[in-house]
Amino acid sequence: MYELEKANLKRCGAYIVNILRPSYIKGFMTTYLPPGDKKKVKDQEGNGTESSFRIEIREEAEENNLSENHCKASGAHDVEHTAECAGKKLRKYQEELAGPAFRGENTIICAPTGCGKTIVALAICDHHLKNKKEGQKRKIAFMATRVEVYEQQYSLFQQHFADEDVSVTGLCGESAEGVPVGMYIETNDIIVLTPQILVNALKCGTIASLSIFSLLIFDECHNTTGKHPYNVLMTMYLDSKLGNNNELLPQASWSLFLYAIVGLTASVGVGSFKNERDAENNICQLCAFMDVRVISTVIENKEELKSHIHVPEKQFFFVEKRSGDPFTMTIYGIMSKIEELAKEVYNIDSLSNIKNRDYGSQKYEQWIVDVQKKCRTLQLEDKQKESQLCRELFNYTEHLRKYNDALIINEDARTKDALDYLDTFSADVRNAGFDKTEQLLTQIFEDNYQQLHQLSTEESRENPKLKELKYILDEEYRNNEQTRTVLFVRTRALAEALKNWVEENPSLAHLKPGVLIGRGKRSQQTGMTLPSKKGLLESFKKNDQSKILIATSVADEGIDIPQCNLVLLYEYVGNVVKMIQVRGRGRAQGSKCILVSSKKEQIEKEKLNMLREKIVDQAIINLQLPGNTMLTKIEVLQREDKNVRDYNRLTLQRVRTDDCFRLLCSKCKSPACFTDSIRVLQIGIIGGSGLNDPDILEGRSERYVETPYGKPSDALIVGKIKNVDCVLLARHGRQHTIMPTNVNHRANIWALKEEGCTHLVVTTACGSLREDIQPGDFVIIDQFIDRTTKRHQTFYDGSSTSPAGVCHIPMAEPFCNKTREVLIEVARNLGMKCHPKGTMLTIEGPRFSSRAESLMFRQWGADVLNMTTVPEVVLAREAGLCYASIAMATDYDCWKEHEETVCVDNVLKTMKENANKAASILLTAIPYISKMDWTETVKNMKTVVQCSVMLPKH
């Protein structure tokens, strides 16, 4: 309902005598009506009769999910018994939820989304820290399962405890790598973190046990099952508790009023169940995993809860599928042909027991995964034939997988999007290894491309589901221009396809769609960074920005989107917990939740979830009744689980006799490499004068290290450039306090090598010795001349801390040509003037050259000169690193007559003007480098070093 309508109803409600559009009232206004009036609206819609009645609306202020000190009939009595959080009183239902935890009981708090469970958690933390005996230590771990939720909760904790003498810190995912986790935990009162960090810290001994904490809070605690990090932690906890090793437990034994565990969730409807008894057993199992004895729900203050929580109205839209779709039939034909080709090679039906697999289904995807898995273990006497067979079957099934994906996209989006997906895959295949099987499969696609393209452009073949989706969006935004929509879809590919559809649709383009997806794996380039998610959500909150978010499961739980009043589920159905959480994204008053599906079974499943939600609610009530057997069940389940774990440890233990394993290609089963040869690509960046801006790195942190050769020039700044691990080091220190002669090149290179760097891409300012190399030009140097006299040029110096032997490293090709080629191509693509090669002459410095020297250097064939390339490139070669240098000309040195002589001011001015260009090269080249295969290059570098060292004879 619009704000104007609400105001009018307040003013004129007593005079309403007729409802002209009952369906509109039902759809948009029943949230505000008393139950009796709702019935009248529905009756009038059904029989077309007129009726008159008064509509009353109650408005209540809401701020941060906390109650202000309203004047109530109960007066001082209510105030006296109301808990506070950050100076604001908890609502009565929030105080009720926190009650068991306040009393010292391990508790699962189960309450609807949007009711302020995090506020309840903050109040529990307040209570826990303030109510302690003298000499007791209190330490709290608050855990969130997803990085996006972690960021949100960490911010809330920082804000809440900003003015108090409570220290709060946060640790999350990859940003915690290299961080002294134990020290962070030891020196802070509250640690907000993702659970895997705590699991890792316990396994590696960074922290000895969970006993360091006095309170553990699990956000979205229904995830405590299987191998989830929550359950791994609780398994450690229970093994200690049931093994009578209480020193390893959170410090719950200090006092009757200390508690250890609190879980937060919108639903405990975990597992599969058909009736209340099954649901009760599942809930007891969750409680056993978490070692809780109380499920805290709102019982006494339900009316207050209902006044603050707006459950969206659920609607279902069934849409018929495309009938006789020729695009689908063409893909069917292609897939059938590929299956027949695969069967000529091997009876693939014998590799999997999955039957009745329909094209374009999840079951077909499962069949492909199963077949590929069986291929990895397929054994033939002829190993060469085995390898060839596995490669061919992998190619066939991989192409079948992509066609299956295209059918799914075509079913939910436009045919054009499905064809684009296949076209991209085909191009990727052509650009990669291209054997005979792949040539054949690619040719099949190309033979059918023209027909598929023609079908994708036929407007008469518009997807009925998109028509229905457009109708819903048109209606909702026509009735309320301020509508904010979250559209849930199953895959990232579909999210992108629907975004393109909205943007290309004239009547919907004004919605300015945003796509909200997960971060993806480290190897994936399609993930979404945290800053971009924050920017998107911020845009969603502003009226003139994005009005619709197209989201995958990343938005299911935890992310707060208060402006949303329309939740659209596009073939998006899960279990009970998912249904409750997704529905809860619609938190605004008068919200709707609409499922759009062409599958009746999906709609029936969602309706069954609604029924299961009621079963879970009743199961909780049963377990909360006095005299129930819940506590006994939990203890029995814990003992049984402990016995199973103990048995598995005894029977499944095995000893590895060799730390090095040979890995086989899962595609063709040929030997790939040994595990000790695997390296994670990491790129070191050494920034020269004015070219060491740390802002190019995301998620950066600093590490101060020492080496056998002393300290590096500055801290190592560790971070990422477009998901590629990088380490930045300022060659002269960040304040440029180290003159060229005193740069500790050995410590710099050693530190970067120890940090795991495989590449070094460096920047350096230089003087030009050639007319055509103008100030501001870039040179990707390929040779050097050494004029230094006071520098250590080898790690192998015979000292007690140096490597053994003498290293005579070859220097015919000092720079890595493969890395240089990337830099050259990137610079040219960016439109920068770049010289593809050049000889760098390095002088000792810190003075500049005399004119006689400068002219002599030109006669020697040098193109540019600086004070740092040597011995840096030599040491990088000894360290086996792929080294390349981006040299930026800042001046003409002093050889050129009638040209201003080189000076510091001019050098700095030119560097400042062109620093952004150098940064652009790095930001573009590094992701490109990360996608290349460096196995042979790194191996050859390592071999060169090994062959260059002469060891003493014994």
- Give the highest mean pLDDT range of 344-353, 887-896, 897-906: 887-896
Q: Which of 719-723, 837-841, 947-951 has the lowest mean pLDDT?
A: 947-951
For the question of residue 893 being annotated catalytic, the response is yes
Average pLDDT over residues 932-948: 86
* Dihedral of alpha carbons 450, 358, 390, 382, sign: negative
Closest CA to 97 of 269, 263, 308, 219: 263
- Give the pairing type, strands 671-674 and 313-318: unpaired
pLDDT score recorded for residue 532: 66
- Whole-number Å distance between alpha carbons of 903 and 209: 60
pLDDT score recorded for residue 544: 63
Are 110 and 265 in contact by the 8 Å Cβ rule? The answer is yes
* Cis bond before residue 671 (omega within 30° of 0): no
| HSE of 118, CA atoms in CB hemisphere, 13 A | 24
Q: Residue 686's CB: how many other CB atoms inside 10 A? A: 28
- Whole-number Å distance between alpha carbons of 261 and 292: 7
The larger pLDDT score, comparing residue 520 to residue 152, is at 152
Q: Which of 253-257, 351-355, 615-619 has the lowest mean pLDDT?
A: 253-257
- Whole-number Å distance between alpha carbons of 508 and 68: 41
pLDDT score recorded for residue 738: 93
- Whole-number Å distance between alpha carbons of 910 and 913: 5
Tokens, residue 924: 């573009």
Tokens, residue 228: 């989830």
CA 858 to chain centre: 53
Q: Which of 77-86, 175-184, 482-491, 829-838 has the lowest mean pLDDT?
A: 77-86
pLDDT score recorded for residue 668: 62
Residue type, 479: N
pLDDT at 235 over 60: yes
Average pLDDT over residues 734-759: 93
- Which residue out of 714, 777, 891, 933 is catalytically annotated? 891
* Dihedral of alpha carbons 581, 585, 590, 592, sign: negative
pLDDT tens readout for residues 545-604: 788 888 888 777 656 666 688 889 998 888 888 888 777 777 667 788 899 999 899 899
Average pLDDT over residues 750-755: 91
- Whole-number Å distance between alpha carbons of 529 and 619: 40
Residue 927's pLDDT band, with cuts at 50, 70 and 90, is very high
Tokens, residue 59: 């408005």
The 3-state DSSP class for residue 171 equals strand
As a three-state string, the secondary structure of 389-422 is HHHHHHHHHHHHHHHHHHHHHHHHCCHHHHHHHH
Q: Which of 3-12, 462-471, 648-657, 716-725 has the lowest mean pLDDT?
A: 3-12
Residue 334's pLDDT band, with cuts at 50, 70 and 90, is very high
Q: Which of 464-478, 517-531, 735-749, 924-938 has the lowest mean pLDDT?
A: 517-531
pLDDT score recorded for residue 297: 95
The larger pLDDT score, comparing residue 720 to residue 433, is at 720
pLDDT score recorded for residue 82: 44
- Could you list the residues known to form a binding site for phosphate, using ranges: 689, 731-732, 764-765, 868
Give the sheet arrangement for strand 215-219, strand by strand: 168-171, 190-193, 140-143, 215-219, 261-265, 107-110, 294-296
pLDDT score recorded for residue 56: 35
pLDDT at 232 over 70: yes
Give first-to-last CA distance, the chain, whole Å. Answer: 90
pLDDT score recorded for residue 205: 81
Radius of gyration of the chain (CA): 33
pLDDT at 26 over 80: no
The larger pLDDT score, comparing residue 342 to residue 905, is at 342
Residue 460's pLDDT band, with cuts at 50, 70 and 90, is confident
pLDDT score recorded for residue 127: 92
Burial code (b: 16+ CB inside 10 Å, e: under 16) for 735-765 equals: eeeeebeebbbbbbbbbbbebebbbbbbbbb
For the question of residue 165 being annotated catalytic, the response is no
pLDDT at 898 over 90: no
pLDDT score recorded for residue 360: 86
pLDDT tens readout for residues 853-894: 999 999 999 999 999 999 999 999 999 999 999 999 988 999
Burial code (b: 16+ CB inside 10 Å, e: under 16) for 552-569 equals: bbbbbbbbbbebbbbbbb
pLDDT score recorded for residue 906: 75
The whole-chain average pLDDT of the chain stands at 82
Percentages (nearest 5) of helix, strand, coil residues in the chain: 45, 15, 40
Are 182 and 219 in contact by the 8 Å Cβ rule? The answer is no
Sequence-ordered list of residues with C-beta below 8 angstroms from that of 879, at least 6 positions apart, any chain? 749, 750, 753, 795, 945
Q: Residue 942's CB: how many other CB atoms inside 10 A? A: 14
The 3-state DSSP class for residue 295 equals strand
pLDDT at 73 over 60: no
- Whole-number Å distance between alpha carbons of 859 and 621: 92
Are 669 and 692 in contact by the 8 Å Cβ rule? The answer is no
Closest CA to 835 of 899, 764, 779, 889: 779
DSSP class of residue 358? P
- In percent, how much of the chain has pLDDT > 70? 80
Residue type, 579: M
The larger pLDDT score, comparing residue 662 to residue 149, is at 149
Are 882 and 934 in contact by the 8 Å Cβ rule? The answer is yes
pLDDT score recorded for residue 415: 92
- Give the pairing type, strands 698-703 and 716-721: antiparallel
The larger pLDDT score, comparing residue 660 to residue 334, is at 334
pLDDT score recorded for residue 271: 83
- Whole-number Å distance between alpha carbons of 535 and 893: 46
- Whole-number Å distance between alpha carbons of 40 and 35: 9
pLDDT at 63 over 60: no
Average pLDDT over residues 23-39: 47
- Could you list the residues known to form a binding site for substrate, using ranges: 867, 891-893
Are 917 and 778 in contact by the 8 Å Cβ rule? The answer is yes
Burial (0-12, 13-18, 19+ Cβ within 10 Å), 673? middle
DSSP class of residue 735? T
pLDDT score recorded for residue 666: 64
pLDDT score recorded for residue 140: 94
Domains and CATH numbers, the chain: 3-47 (no CATH), 76-308 (3.40.50.300), 313-318+463-598 (3.40.50.300), 326-461 (1.20.1320.30), 680-950 (3.40.50.1580)
- Give the highest mean pLDDT range of 126-140, 154-168, 768-782, 788-802: 768-782
- Which residue out of 349, 560, 893, 905 is catalytically annotated? 893
Are 403 and 448 in contact by the 8 Å Cβ rule? The answer is no
Average pLDDT over residues 499-508: 91
Q: Between vectors from CA 154 to CA 153 and to CA 155, what angle results, nearest 5°?
A: 90
pLDDT score recorded for residue 49: 42
